[in-house]
Amino acid sequence: MKSALLLSITPLALSACATTARLHEQSELNSIGQRCGLALGELFQDEEQKKLLFMVRIEPSAAQKTCVAQWARRNGLKAVFVDDIGFPEEGS
């Protein structure tokens, strides 16, 4: 009897730990980005990888990165920082 009860409760308990990431509206991400000192569009999610929150900014401050990372963590996301974008030089 105990083992049957344990087997029925275990999946329920495990499912409570697994959160499904949701795709946030860009307007919501823009608002969060602005609170963290970013420009519009510098914070976004990819539809295919909803658990990832991308921040694209050249030379972000430590405070900006911390702000984004904390918000991402609170919302079950992983922050990804893209701060070195290599553009081809003219004439190459």
* 32-67 confidence digits (pLDDT tens): 999 999 999 999 999 999 999 999 999 999 999 999
Distance CA 11, CA 16 (A): 9
Query: What span, in angstroms and rounded, lies between the C-alpha atoms of 4 and 24?
Result: 40
Per-residue model confidence (pLDDT) at position 17: 53
- pLDDT value, residue 85: 75
SS3 call for 26: helix
- The pLDDT assigned to 54 comes to 97
Number of H helices, E strands in the chain: 3, 3
Which tens digits make up the pLDDT trace of 12-31? Answer: 454 445 557 789 999 999 99
The lowest-confidence range among 2-11, 16-25, 69-78, 79-88 is 2-11
pTM above 0.75?
no
